[in-house]
Amino acid sequence: AQSVTQLGSHVSVSEGALVLLRCNYSSSVPPYLFWYVQYPNQGLQLLLKYTSAATLVKGINGFEAEFKKSETSFHLTKPSAHMSDAAEYFCAVSDTGNQCYFGTGTSLTVIP
């Protein structure tokens, strides 16, 4: 069975500060891991994905995430937060791709 835990339902950072959103996963097989972003009243947009290639994955808008098997983690980072980064972020895990299991989300607030 697969599952995702996102630590911290709300994260606030100052504009220009480091963004760190935490995600831990549980999977019985080598997983596919994803981070999606959701802006108000919109669907989900893929930020980045891990598919067993490089453990450090770079995505859109300056985000990146590192797959750490020993820690079963896939934390999302961005060196410098921008006001436009304010949104809801979801970590998700999938095995064969038939079903994605999403975390409960982390709401990111960027303080000017």
Partner 1 sequence: ETGVTQSPTHLIKTRGQQVTLRCSSQSGHNTVSWYQQALGQGPQFIFQYYREEENGRGNFPPRFSGLQFPNYSSELNVNALELDDSALYLCASRVSGGALRTGELFFGEGSRLTVL
**Residues lying near partner 1 in the complex (CB under 8 A):** 4, 32, 34, 36, 41-46, 49, 51, 90, 92, 94, 96-105
Would you say 85 or 89 has its CB closer to partner 1?
89
Residue 50: CB minimum distance to partner 1, A:
9
User: Shortest distance, CB of residue 23 to partner 1, whole angstroms?
Assistant: 11
CA 74, CA 61: separation in Å to the nearest integer? 18
Judge whether 20 and 7 are in contact, CB under 8 Å. no
Give min distance, CB of 21 to partner 1, in A. Answer: 13
Q: What are the angstrom distances between the C-alpha of 41 and each of 37, 71, 72?
A: 12, 34, 31
Residue with smaller CB distance to partner 1, 15 or 100: 100
Classify each residue of 70-84 as buried b or exposed e, where b means 16 or more C-beta atoms within 10 Å of its C-beta.
eeebbbbebeebeee
Nearer to partner 1 by C-beta: 73 or 94? 94
